[in-house]
Amino acid sequence: MTKGITKRNEDYAQWYLDVIAAADLAEHSAVKGCMVIKPNGYAIWEMIQAQLDRMFKATGHVNAYFPLFIPESYLQKEAEHVEGFAPECAVVTHAGGKRLEEPMVIRPTSETIIWSTYKNWIQSYRDLPILINQWANVVRWEMRTRLFLRTTEFLWQEGHTAHATAQEAEEETLKILGVYRDFAEQYMAAPVYVGIKTDKEKFAGAVRTYCIEAMMQDRKSLQCGTSHNLGQNFARAFDVTFQDESGKLQHVYATSWGVSTRLIGALVMSHSDDNGLVLPPRLAPLKVVLIPIWKEESEMEKTKQKAAELTANWHDQISFRIDDRDQYRPGYKFNEWEKRGVPIRIEMGPRDVAADQVVVVRRDTGEKIPMPQQDLLPRIQKLLEQMQNDLYQRALEYRNAATYRADDYKEFQSAIENPGGFFWLHWCGNPDCENRFQETSKATIRIIPMDGEKEQGPCIVCGKPSQQRVLVGKSY
Amino acid sequence: MTKGITKRNEDYAQWYLDVIAAADLAEHSAVKGCMVIKPNGYAIWEMIQAQLDRMFKATGHVNAYFPLFIPESYLQKEAEHVEGFAPECAVVTHAGGKRLEEPMVIRPTSETIIWSTYKNWIQSYRDLPILINQWANVVRWEMRTRLFLRTTEFLWQEGHTAHATAQEAEEETLKILGVYRDFAEQYMAAPVYVGIKTDKEKFAGAVRTYCIEAMMQDRKSLQCGTSHNLGQNFARAFDVTFQDESGKLQHVYATSWGVSTRLIGALVMSHSDDNGLVLPPRLAPLKVVLIPIWKEESEMEKTKQKAAELTANWHDQISFRIDDRDQYRPGYKFNEWEKRGVPIRIEMGPRDVAADQVVVVRRDTGEKIPMPQQDLLPRIQKLLEQMQNDLYQRALEYRNAATYRADDYKEFQSAIENPGGFFWLHWCGNPDCENRFQETSKATIRIIPMDGEKEQGPCIVCGKPSQQRVLVGKSY
Spatial distance between the Cα atoms of B231 and B308, rounded to a whole number of angstroms: 58
Minimum CA–CA partner of B285 in chain A = A62
| Distance from C-alpha of B225 to C-alpha of B219, rounded to nearest angstrom | 18
**CA nearest B421: which of B406, B446, B399?**
B399
Q: Residues of B with CB below 8 A from A136's CB?
A: 137
List, in order, residues 6 or more apart from A168 with CB less than 8 Å away. Answer: A129, A253
* pLDDT exceeds cutoff 90 at B297: no
Q: What is the dihedral of CA A179, A184, A186, A192, to 10 degrees?
A: -100
Pick the residue from chain B with its C-alpha nearest to A116: B30
Q: Average pLDDT of B113-131? A: 98
**Single-letter amino acid code for the residue at A271:** H
Phi/psi of residue B153, each to 5°?
A: -105, 140
**What is the predicted pLDDT for the residue at B454?**
84
pLDDT exceeds cutoff 60 at B193: yes
pLDDT value at residue A1: 41
Contacting residues for A14 by C-beta, under 8 A, at least 6 apart? A6
Model confidence at B3, pLDDT cuts 50, 70, 90, reads: low
**pLDDT of B1:** 41
Beta partners for B423? Answer: B404, B472
Which pLDDT tens digit goes with each residue over B65-87? 999 999 999 999 998 989 999 99
Q: Quick one: closest CA in A to B132, which residue?
A: A39
Nearest CA in chain B to A37: B65
- Give A 67-86 residues with CB within 8 A of chain B: 67-71, 74, 86
Q: Using omega within 30 degrees of 0 as the cis cutoff, is the peptide bond preceding B71 cis?
A: no
Min CA distance, B459 vs chain A (Å)? 37
Distance (Å, whole) CA B73 – CA B93:
14
Cα distance from B27 to chain A (closest Cα, Å)?
Answer: 10
pLDDT at residue number B32: 87
B interface mutation test: which of A36, A73, A104, A154 has the most B CBs within 10 A?
Answer: A36
pLDDT tens string A11-28: 999 999 999 999 999 999
Q: Does A318 touch chain B (CB under 8 A)?
A: no
Mind telling me how many Å the CA of B106 is from chain A's nearest CA?
9
- Mean pLDDT, chain B, whole residue set: 96
| Reported confidence tier of residue B296, pLDDT bands at 50, 70, 90 | confident
Q: Would you say residue B305 has pLDDT above 70?
A: yes
Q: Please enumerate in sequence order all residues whose Cβ is within 8 A of that of A84, keeping only pairs 6 or more positions apart, or say none.
A: A203, A204, A205
- What's the residue count for chain B? 476
Residues of A in contact with B47 (CB under 8 A): none
Q: Is the pLDDT confidence value at B52 over 50?
A: yes
pLDDT in tens, B377-392: 999 999 999 999 999 9
The whole-angstrom separation of Cα B426 and Cα B462 is 10
Residue B462's CB: how many other CB atoms inside 10 A?
15
CA A120/CA A118 separation, integer angstroms = 5
Q: Are strands B357-362 and B344-348 parallel, antiparallel or unpaired?
A: antiparallel
C-alpha span between A286 and A270 (Å, rounded): 19
Distance CA A445, CA A432 (A): 13
Instruction: Please list every residue in chain B whose beta carbon sits closer than 8 Å to the beta carbon of residue A123.
Output: none
Kindly write down the DSSP assignment for every residue of A19-40, as one continuous string: HHHHTT-EEE-SSTT-EEE-HH
Nearest CA in chain A to B42: A64
Q: Is the pLDDT of residue B161 over 80?
A: yes
Overall average pLDDT of the B123-140 stretch: 98
Strands B98-106 and A403-405: unpaired
The whole-number average pLDDT for the span B244-269 is 97
What domains does chain A contain, in order, with CATH numbers?
12-271 (3.30.930.10), 286-399 (3.40.50.800), 403-473 (3.30.110.30)
Residue B353 confidence (pLDDT): 93
What do you get for the CA distance between the two ends of chain A, in Å?
27
Element containing residue B165 per DSSP (H, E): none
- ipTM score: 0.97
**In degrees rounded to 5, what are phi and psi of residue B344?**
-130, 130
Across B287-305, average pLDDT: 92
Q: What is the pLDDT along chain A (476 residues), one digit of tens a residue?
A: 446 899 999 999 999 999 999 999 999 999 989 999 999 999 999 999 999 999 999 999 999 999 999 999 999 999 898 999 999 999 999 999 999 999 999 999 999 999 999 999 999 999 999 999 999 999 999 889 999 999 999 999 999 999 999 999 999 999 999 999 999 999 999 999 999 999 999 999 999 999 999 999 999 999 999 999 999 999 999 999 999 999 999 999 999 999 999 999 999 999 999 999 999 999 999 999 999 999 888 889 999 999 999 999 999 999 999 999 988 999 999 999 999 999 999 999 999 999 999 999 999 999 999 999 999 999 999 999 999 999 999 999 999 999 999 999 999 999 999 999 999 999 999 999 999 989 999 999 999 999 877 899 999 999 999 999 999 999 99
**Min distance A64 CA to chain B CA atoms (Å):** 5
The A residues from 47 to 66 touching B (CB cutoff 8 Å) are 62-66
Q: What is the pLDDT of residues B332-371, one digit of tens each?
A: 999 999 999 999 999 999 999 999 999 999 999 999 999 9
- Choose among B176, B231, B200: nearest CA to B57: B176
Q: Decide: residue A336, CB within 10 A, 0-12 exposed, 13-18 middle, 19+ buried.
A: buried
Signed CA dihedral, A458, A460, A463, A469: sign only = negative
- Among B36, B95, B155, the residue with its CB nearest the CB of A117 is B36
Predicted pLDDT at A432: 96
- How many DSSP H helices and E strands does chain B contain? 14, 25
CA gap A319, A330 in Å, rounded: 21
- Kindly state the greatest CA–CA separation across chain B: 85
pLDDT-based confidence at residue B166 (cuts at 50, 70, 90): very high
- Reported as half-sphere exposure (CB side, CA atoms, 13 A), residue A337 has a value of 30
